[in-house]
Amino acid sequence: MTRLTCPYCYGRFAEKEIKFRCGGLHPIEGKPCAPGPDPVRGQVLGDTKLQLPVVEGNGKRLSARCAKCRIETTIQICPNCHSQLPVHYSKINNRMVAMIGAKFSGKSVYMTVLMHELIHRVGRRFDAAVTGADERTRKDFSNEERDLYTEGVLPGATQTAAAERGRAPFVFRVSLGEHRRFRSTLRHTVLSFFDTAGEDLESDKGVAENVRYLSCADGIIVLLDPLTVPNVMEKFGLDPSVLPQAANRADSPINILTRVTEVLQKLPGNGPNKMIDIPVAVAFSKVDALWEGLPQDSPLRQPAPGTPYFDEGDGEAIHAHVQALLYDWEGGQIDQLLTKNYRTFRYFGLSALGAVPAVRSPGQARQKVGGAIQPHRVEDPFLWLLSRLKVVTTGKD
Amino acid sequence: MGAPQMYYTSCESGLAGYPGFQFNAATPGVGEDVLRRVEQATSYEPPRSLGYEPTTEQIDGCPVNLCYLPGTDGEPAVLARTVFVGNDYSQRFGNYFVHALSLPPGHDLDGALPIDFWAAGFWSATQANGTRLPELHPTPAATFGRASAEAFLQDAGRLGWVPRLLNAVERAIVAGERSVIVLESDSEKVARWISAVCHLLPPPMARRLSFATYSYRPGRGTEHLVGTVPETDFTADDSALRGYFLLDAVGGQVSDGAAHPLAEMLAALGPEDAQTVWSLAGPLATGDEPDFAAWYPIAVAGALRADLPIEPDALAAMLHWLPSAAGRLQPRLVGDIVERCLDHDMLTLAHCLSLIGVATGTRDENLVADAEVRAFDLLLDEPSVVPPRVPRPVTARGTGYAVEQVTAALSRATGRPRETLALITVALHARLPLRSADLAGYGRDLVAPILLDDPGQPVPELLAKAPDVRRGVLDGLSAALSGREAAVLAVASRLSDVVSDDELAAYPDLSRMVLLARAARRPQDRLDTLIRLTGKGVPESSVVAALWPHEWTLDEAADVVRAAPQRFWESDALIDRLDQVLARDDEPRTAWGPYFLVTEFVADRKLGSRLSPVAEDRVRGMVWSRQQIRSLSRVRGRQLDERLRKLLGMVEHGEPAVARWLTGQVHTLILRLDPEHLAALLPTVNPKIRQQYRETLAATLGKRPDDDVMTIAAATFDARTRLGRKDRATADELDRVFADTVARWKTRDLDHLEKMLAGSSARNVPAAFAKWREDEVPRGIGRFLPRRRH
């Protein structure tokens, strides 16, 4: 029996366990249902807002009748956290994509830019409609998008999972294909993103905070800052001032990958002699800083293909190139770790902003982007994961 | 008492060993769980109003979150202050600084409330040099406390919101209902709201209140009371007003909700007076009071002790609580509360009775006497009303005062019957030691005249409980009998339920009147009364007429016949009543039993000659008919036929009652006739009896065929065959009965019947049955289908 995963709490449940929430409509006779405390939401999400009553029903059906007001409701909720599920959640694909990365690797910026690209440019490329699946996602994402794209302000530091209170994942709905008269190719996929703090991958304890999130992931994007790889700065002859002051002291990518691997190995279904099945996209961010040190014909410097499918040939070329660079930079430790533990992984190189942010002027409180945002290959890891999950097709030129 | 402290911020070095958000320093020994709670409870996001180019002043002006989490199950409480500091060590924006205190169980902050530390000087916002911090002795700022909360509430019309706010906070603490969100223009005002709430709540409840003065997402806070400011994740719309308890001081709106009387009272008192109240109420509490309902009477008692004005409802609530609490309180405290209650203008008699009980528990006789005196003062404020509960004084002073007041009031109550009766009732209920002669005097001189003046009024209840007063009333009635007989009779008839026969025995004339009146209302007592009043003589017609103002019914006649002594029937009055019953054409209307009883009785006692001719004929006819019917069980054949014909003659020409009874009897006898007489008789009986006969025959033949049923079936079919030649209509009637009943019999039974009919004296009967069977008995499945009627 297929089990579903809540895109908000990452709890797993069977389709028939889905519950409903009364719509609060006025019945022909009597009074409409009144909101009341929902202890489950209070306990799991810390939300003490009064809610309309929970309606028990068969989750395999798309509606249930409220026992109190006798009115049919179609609002489906997660049985674990009582969050409202996206429309027809159990009947469509739902995929959890986890994104983790070291501190200063640019996860928050990357997530905002990636979603912006998916909604606009990549959406056009794949003829896809990408929309926020709930009101909060739409509101919060538009705030972050405005901060970055309109105001040119980089996001602040992300709080740790332990300090996290009330911040919910971004949940998007991707619609691909089209509706035809006799054969519809329309496919809806729900994507849930949770932005973690870099601190959470600095220690075993922090990683453990994210176990639930990682254990439910259908694909993982590991964002690494190539400038934190030992010897990279020297090899490329870079000025250390391009790095954030404290990034020098950030943990190395190999340590971060090792901790994540240990967490994934402890998940149910994995064992000492088993490879990890979850596809992992290992993406090196901020490649614009290495631009000058890479050859002119380096695949990393080429623009992303515009084909309406994931270009496997282009992806393999990038993978091979980054793999070679890793061997050159740190003797292949990262590649060895991934090869020995992951059945499916792929390297990527990307730049969310397209350029190093401008140097901050004295008295300036917030870091500014510096110019127009020109993302480079930000969608590659995500599209590769979607191709592994059969959401988008794969092709080769 | 020192408290361990913690610093949390995004910094380069700290307890984690890597840069980023972490505990920068802490007092050694602080547990992991405390660190985790602090990290969870203090996360911070600045409001969006901060903008994209904030200045240092704007950052410093960001809302401050003073957060308090009470400890449960032995865990320490946490008091933390979070301030926004802008950039961290790496110049990344979004850093904040938390200074937290861990308050072990038993740390009472030296009597201060957590919110009093809002403006305390010890709060730090700078990182420590090392990772170790000393313990801190927290001291609140003198400028932020009860007085400033009082001033805050008095300003800008805030007081009107307080009752509902307090109520919502209490519900959140006690029942875990919707959390309370205060939206203010800045976090200091939120802190002042929280301060006001904390200084108004019962102190133990205030210490259970968790709060945060600022949260970017107040809807996801776990605290009972959360503050926020404009331009955060929170929108003060209708949904928020319904989903939370929202006090939107910026928009001037507040969620709907009721306010408990205690919330109203505390809001009216204000923080300063509330402190006085709670300090005086403290010794009255158990410490386990869970909610406002439990605290309310205690607070009222505190207010009473503080000489603050108390509303009547509040006093009632306190007096409802006091009796159950008095046992565990110091007698001195109880005495103080009781005395203050007795002086209260709004005290009611019910309250006072409650206070007497409480005062009795203190064993302070003076206190009890004071309460009794006050109770009688209250009681006599409305002398015409008898309250449901009347005080029963036990102290000498209380009793003496009560007797004095009641007797004085009675002396003034002449001409006011309601008041007089109420005062005597009160005296009786209070068990005042009044002399027997005095009570009898009240009955004779006060109560009896009241009753005679208005004989229609209900009997005063006091007479049922007061023999002395009753005696006085009987004296008064007896004395008035000669001049006011009608009024006395009316009163006596009403008194009959409360006056015993022994009491009446002293007043013979009155006694007779009372007995007749009682029997008139209780039919079951009439005969007994007749026997008692008749004694050894015969009933007088006046007595009979008084007891039965109407003609007897048949049942009444039967009752008298059963129970009356032999000599009673010498009375013409009784014979006349019996004659009336028997002469009525429509008797009996229901059962025959009483009619037989009466007619047999008249016949046995040979009373017929004293009846009217009609009644006498009916008795004779009824007795003869019943004898005939009884004797018919032993006769058969011709003799039966002859007797039946005589009875049928009585049906046609006899008395109505006899004819009706015989109609119901003879049709069953016809069933037992032999075929020859049956065939001869049937065409001659009247249609009504024939109809009844057919119904009885159908019911008999419809039963399971045993020997009797077989015999009746054979005789009837034989008679039907004989009738077929001379009376086709009667034969057809019998055919229809046979078709509905015998035709459905089993083949085996029909065979048996055929065998019986083979021996018939009429020659063509067997052949007729065979043909009938061939024509009428359905075959196969048709036997189970409803018969088609032609």
Percent of chain B with pLDDT over 90: 40
CA A341 to chain centre: 22
End residue of a domain, out of A50, A67, A90:
A90
State the pLDDT confidence band at A125, using cuts at 50, 70 and 90.
confident
B59 in contact with A at a CB cutoff of 8 Å? yes
Question: Is the CB of A203 less than 8 angstroms away from the CB of B88?
Answer: no
Shortest distance between the Cα of A147 and any Cα of chain B, in A, equals: 8
pLDDT at B171 over 90: yes
- Please provide the average confidence, as pLDDT, over all residues in chain A: 84
Looking at the DSSP assignment, which residues form a beta bridge with residue B25? Answer: B7
Which of B518, B566, B510 lies closest to B538 in space, CA to CA? B566
pLDDT at B550 over 90: no
State the pLDDT confidence band at B187, using cuts at 50, 70 and 90.
very high
pLDDT at B13 over 60: yes
Q: Is the dihedral of CA B388, B392, B397, B399 positive or negative?
A: positive
- The 3-state DSSP class for residue B182 equals strand
How many Å from the N-terminal Cα to the C-terminal Cα in chain B?
A: 112
A357 in contact with B at a CB cutoff of 8 Å? no
The tens digit of pLDDT for each residue in B190-249 reads: 999 999 999 999 999 999 999 999 999 898 878 999 999 999 989 999 989 999 999 999
* pLDDT score recorded for residue A368: 81
pTM of the model: 0.70
Of A368-377, B377-386, B484-493, B670-679, the least confident: B484-493
Query: φ, ψ for residue B230 (rounded to 5)?
Result: -60, 160
Q: Is B17 exposed, middle or buried (0-12, 13-18, 19+ CB in 10 A)?
A: exposed
* pLDDT score recorded for residue B740: 86
Q: Give contacts of B36 with chain A, Cβ < 8 Å.
A: 162
Give the pair of three-digit tokens for residue B156.
């800008």
Best-predicted range by mean pLDDT (A2-11, A220-229, B320-329): B320-329
Residue-number span of the structural domain to which A152 is assigned: 92-395
Which of B584, B582, B589, B585 lies closest to B623 in space, CA to CA? B582
Which of A282, A260, A262, A280 lies closest to A270 in space, CA to CA? A262
Residues A248 and A349 in one domain: yes
What number is the average pLDDT over the span B60-78?
A: 93
The interface residues of chain B toward chain A in range 314-333, judged by CB-CB distance below 8 A, are: none
State the pLDDT confidence band at A211, using cuts at 50, 70 and 90.
low
- pLDDT higher for B387 or B395? B395
Residues A12 and A60 in one domain: yes
- The 3-state DSSP class for residue B228 equals strand
* pLDDT score recorded for residue A243: 58
Shortest distance between the Cα of B233 and any Cα of chain A, in A, equals: 9
Q: Please name the member of B40, B91, B179 whose beta carbon is closest to the beta carbon of A48.
A: B179
pLDDT at A109 over 70: yes
Residues A29 and A153 in one domain: no
B778 in contact with A at a CB cutoff of 8 Å? no
* pLDDT score recorded for residue B790: 47
B553 in contact with A at a CB cutoff of 8 Å? no
What number is the average pLDDT over the span B360-385?
A: 90
E-strand spans in B218-357?
A: 225-228, 245-248, 253-254
Residues A75 and A131 in one domain: no
Distance from C-alpha of B752 to C-alpha of A11, rounded to nearest angstrom = 84
Which of A47, A43, A42, A25 lies closest to A34 in space, CA to CA? A25
The tens digit of pLDDT for each residue in B149-160 reads: 999 998 878 999
Residues A54 and A144 in one domain: no
Distance from C-alpha of B711 to C-alpha of B98, rounded to nearest angstrom = 112
* pLDDT score recorded for residue A397: 67
State the pLDDT confidence band at B276, using cuts at 50, 70 and 90.
very high
- pLDDT higher for A237 or B571? B571
The tens digit of pLDDT for each residue in B405-451 reads: 999 988 888 788 888 889 999 999 999 998 899 899 888 888 888 88
* Residue B105 preceded by cis peptide, ω within 30: no
Shortest distance between the Cα of A192 and any Cα of chain B, in A, equals: 20
Q: Give contacts of B92 with chain A, Cβ < 8 Å.
A: 156-157, 244, 367
CA B767 to chain centre: 77
Measure Cα distances from B108 to B29, B137, B139, B173 in Å.
20, 12, 12, 19
Distance from C-alpha of B235 to C-alpha of B656, rounded to nearest angstrom = 95
Distance from C-alpha of B544 to C-alpha of B551, rounded to nearest angstrom = 11
Question: Is the CB of B217 less than 8 angstroms away from the CB of A247?
Answer: no
Q: Give contacts of B55 with chain A, Cβ < 8 Å.
A: 363, 365
* pLDDT score recorded for residue B203: 93
The tens digit of pLDDT for each residue in B691-748 reads: 888 888 998 888 888 888 888 898 888 888 888 767 888 888 888 888 888 888 888 8
CATH number (domain holding residue A122): 3.40.50.300
A157 in contact with B at a CB cutoff of 8 Å? yes
Which one of B43, B55, B169 makes the best mutation probe of the A interface by having the most chain A beta carbons within 10 Å? B43
Residues A97 and A154 in one domain: yes
Question: Is the CB of A365 less than 8 angstroms away from the CB of B53?
Answer: yes
* Cβ(B107)–Cβ(B71) below 8 Å: no
Residues A248 and A273 in one domain: yes
Residues A214 and A344 in one domain: yes
End residue of a domain, out of A24, A55, A90:
A90
Q: Please name the member of B20, B41, B178 whose beta carbon is closest to the beta carbon of A202.
A: B20
Which one of B39, B69, B92 makes the best mutation probe of the A interface by having the most chain A beta carbons within 10 Å? B92
* pLDDT score recorded for residue B547: 84
* pLDDT score recorded for residue B487: 83
The tens digit of pLDDT for each residue in A341-352 reads: 999 999 999 999
- Residues with Cβ within 8 Å of A210's Cβ and at least 6 positions away in sequence, in order, are A98, A100, A161, A196, A200, A263
The tens digit of pLDDT for each residue in A264-316 reads: 888 777 777 889 999 999 999 988 888 888 888 889 999 999 888 999 999 99
Domain count, chain A: 2
Of A114-128, B43-57, B483-497, the least confident: B483-497
End residue of a domain, out of A90, A117, A149:
A90
pLDDT at B255 over 90: yes
Q: Please name the member of A50, A244, A364 whose beta carbon is closest to the beta carbon of B242.
A: A50
Residues A175 and A48 in one domain: no
Residues A177 and A165 in one domain: yes
Which of B261, B267, B372 lies closest to B317 in space, CA to CA? B261
* pLDDT score recorded for residue B786: 62
Q: Give contacts of B95 with chain A, Cβ < 8 Å.
A: 156-157
Question: Is the CB of B178 less than 8 angstroms away from the CB of A103?
Answer: no
Residues A82 and A96 in one domain: no
Q: Give contacts of A39 with chain B, Cβ < 8 Å.
A: 176
Which of A153, A170, A169, A171 lies closest to A161 in space, CA to CA? A169
Residues A122 and A134 in one domain: yes
Shortest distance between the Cα of B307 and any Cα of chain A, in A, equals: 41
The tens digit of pLDDT for each residue in A317-338 reads: 999 999 998 888 877 889 999 9
Which one of B10, B97, B215 makes the best mutation probe of the A interface by having the most chain A beta carbons within 10 Å? B10
The interface residues of chain B toward chain A in range 183-242, judged by CB-CB distance below 8 A, are: 217, 219-222, 233, 240, 242
- Residues with Cβ within 8 Å of B397's Cβ and at least 6 positions away in sequence, in order, are B369, B372, B373
B10 in contact with A at a CB cutoff of 8 Å? yes
